[in-house]
């Protein structure tokens, strides 16, 4: 008996259904495999891509503040309202301390934050020099760095002597005048074996070691920097003590809360500069156990370098040292990862220290320092992940990609550049709305004004905007409620810029200006 036509039709549809199921299964399998692949190694970026105009424009502006802060005889001066100043600094000790940079809106040269400025600027150039070069900011940055390191070399005339301050803060802050017109005395302050300053000596060693890598094409200068770095590290380590305890009067302005972080930070940079494993053993051995605070995330700043050291040492694990048996290095990387997990907003361990607008919030004074510093570390860490093919980090079981860290870094940069409740840029000269009453003497006094120490106060109290623009200045920033008192020049808490703030924002913008892989090694 033959099969009915209708039955043959049903069988045909059954065959079609099986084939469709197989096709769909294959598609699902392929999609799943692609998804699994996407969780594999992160793609490694190549040479610098096209620059992001927003960050490129901001970077070109930010680097200009270093020129505004230069002391000494200005060569190829690019700032119309600045001139030579402090030409006799150091003369009473038969030293030339005329170079270096003024700290903030005043005329002080404070060694600890100035050396930190140099270290961060060196780190930026070493990691992102190719990206800076794309927007023609590499050479200006190197020029600014050398202006500081020239000063630091002269400030270290003997193995165990380091001049760490030029000017008297009380006298200096009792005047409101242009640096070109200063008449007040400029006393010198030093640390030595009787009055040690481990923190400031070690930070200066870090600055010189990192800069020796930046200037390695000039072997004579690079070697000199490295020699000073080694001597200063030995001095810092052998004669231990806080500089703000040895010299209590410095505590009012830049009080150091510890020196262990600077010792580790300096040893990190000396290892990168020399390849001498004794420096690596220094940070991973007993001194690491004493000072590294493994497992306890901290904020990166002029005072505390631990998070910076953790990220810098993570670089070795990501890109250099594949020896996973070095438990010390692994602890640094684990702690750096905890720092990163604290920054990503939706991480289970995300810090709650943020404004409603998403800005990291740590300090009312100079509020922007910590979020910009955190974002700088985040963009570095994300690039270490990308360049090593690391797909993700784990934060209490949740996974995050390099792009999550970069997104956080951009959020902080964008806040600074105007994406905030005030709808204003905190980087002077960027955007259509930015601070006009910056707490900065040179910017606030017309170049043709004749003022002494005391009669310059008129300009501090003036209700008119600054006659000179402090282009590139990153001011202190908003209050916790995200307000900013924009018409009060005496509002130093919010309206005063600092040179180390500039180093941090230049670092962050250099990391965001375009994309590329970081170098495998600095040497």
H helices of 239-368, in order, are: 243-246, 251-254, 260-274, 277-284, 286-291, 306-315, 327-343
Q: How far is CA 209 from CA 268, 306, 312, 320, in A?
A: 9, 17, 14, 19
> What tokens does 182 get?
């200063």
Is residue 439 among the annotated active site residues?
yes
CA neighbor of 499 nearest in space, from 32, 27, 235, 111:
111
d(CA 357, CA 291): 34
With contact defined as beta carbons under 8 Å apart, do 509 and 200 qualify? Answer: no
With contact defined as beta carbons under 8 Å apart, do 179 and 240 qualify? Answer: no
d(CA 509, CA 57): 10
With contact defined as beta carbons under 8 Å apart, do 417 and 431 qualify? Answer: yes
Strand (E) or helix (H) holding 400: strand 398-400
The catalytically annotated residue of 107, 156, 439, 440 is 439
With contact defined as beta carbons under 8 Å apart, do 223 and 217 qualify? Answer: no
One DSSP character per residue, 24-42 reads HHHHHHHHHHHHHHHTSSP
With b for 16 or more beta-carbon neighbours within 10 A and e for fewer, the 145-177 pattern comes to bbbbbbbbbbbbeeebebbbbbbbbeebbebbb
Q: Residue 450: left (phi > 0), alpha (psi -120 to 50), or beta?
A: beta
Secondary structure of 132-175 in HEC code, one letter for each residue: HHHCCCHHHHHHHHHHHHHHHHHCCCECCEEEEEECCHHHHCCC
> What tokens does 270 get?
């000396």
Angle between helices 327-343 and 306-315 (to 10 degrees): 120
> What tokens does 336 get?
């750096």
With contact defined as beta carbons under 8 Å apart, do 499 and 69 qualify? Answer: yes
CA neighbor of 438 nearest in space, from 81, 72, 100:
81
With contact defined as beta carbons under 8 Å apart, do 477 and 426 qualify? Answer: yes
The answer for residues whose C-beta is within 8 angstroms of residue 273's C-beta and 6 or more apart is: 209, 210, 212, 213, 226, 229, 522, 523
With contact defined as beta carbons under 8 Å apart, do 170 and 94 qualify? Answer: no
Catalytic residues: 439
């Amino acid at each position: 008996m033959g099969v009915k036509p209708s039955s043959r039709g049903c069988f045909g549809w059954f065959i079609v259904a099986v084939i469709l199921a197989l096709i769909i299964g294959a598609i699902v399998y392929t999609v799943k495999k692609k998804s699994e692949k996407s969780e594999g190694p992160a793609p490694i970026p190549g040479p610098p891509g096209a620059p992001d105009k927003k960050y490129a424009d901001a970077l070109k502006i930010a680097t200009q503040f270093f020129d505004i802060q230069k002391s000494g005889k200005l060569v190829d001066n690019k700032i119309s309202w600045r001139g030579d100043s402090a030409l006799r600094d150091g003369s009473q000790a038969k030293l030339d301390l005329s170079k270096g940079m003024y700290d903030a809106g005043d005329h002080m040269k404070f060694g600890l934050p100035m050396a930190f400025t140099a270290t961060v600027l060196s780190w930026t150039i070493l990691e992102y020099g190719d990206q800076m070069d794309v927007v023609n900011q590499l050479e200006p940055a190197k020029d600014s760095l050398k202006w500081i390191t020239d000063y630091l070399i002269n400030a270290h005339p003997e193995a165990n002597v380091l001049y760490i301050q030029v000017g008297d803060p009380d006298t200096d802050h009792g005047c409101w005048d242009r640096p070109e017109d200063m008449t007040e005395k400029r006393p010198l302050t030093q640390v030595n074996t009787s009055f040690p300053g481990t923190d400031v000596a070690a930070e200066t060693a870090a600055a010189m070691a990192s800069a020796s890598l930046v200037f390695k094409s000039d072997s004579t200068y690079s070697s000199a920097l490295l020699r000073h770095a080694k001597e200063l590290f030995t001095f810092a380590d052998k004669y231990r003590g806080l500089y703000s305890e040895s010299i209590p009067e410095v505590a009012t302005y830049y009080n150091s809360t510890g020196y262990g972080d600077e010792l580790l930070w300096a040893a990190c940079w000396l290892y990168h500069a020399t390849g001498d494993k004794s420096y690596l053993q220094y940070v991973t051995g007993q001194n690491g156990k004493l000072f590294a605070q493994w497992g306890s995330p901290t904020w990166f700043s002029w005072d505390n370098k631990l998070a910076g050291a953790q990220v810098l040492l993570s670089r070795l694990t990501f890109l250099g040292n594949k020896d996973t048996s070095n438990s010390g290095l692994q602890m640094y990387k684990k702690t750096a990862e905890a720092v990163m997990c604290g920054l990503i907003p939706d991480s289970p361990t995300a810090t709650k220290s943020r404004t409603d607008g998403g800005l990291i919030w740590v300090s009312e004074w100079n509020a922007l320092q910590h979020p910009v510093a955190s974002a700088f570390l985040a963009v570095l860490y994300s690039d270490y992940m990308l360049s090593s093919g690391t797909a993700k980090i784990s934060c209490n079981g949740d996974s995050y990609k390099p792009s999550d860290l970069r997104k956080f870094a951009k959020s902080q940069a964008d806040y600074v550049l105007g994406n905030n409740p005030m709808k204003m840029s905190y980087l002077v000269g960027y955007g259509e709305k930015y601070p006009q009453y910056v707490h900065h003497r040179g910017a606030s006094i017309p170049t043709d004004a004749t003022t002494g120490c005391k009669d310059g106060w008129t300009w501090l109290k003036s209700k008119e905007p600054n006659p000179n623009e402090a282009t590139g200045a990153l001011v202190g920033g908003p209050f916790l409620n995200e307000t900013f008192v924009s018409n009060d020049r005496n509002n130093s808490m919010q309206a005063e810029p600092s040179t180390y703030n500039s180093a941090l924002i230049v670092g962050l913008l250099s990391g965001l200006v375009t994309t590329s892989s970081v170098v495998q090694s600095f040497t």
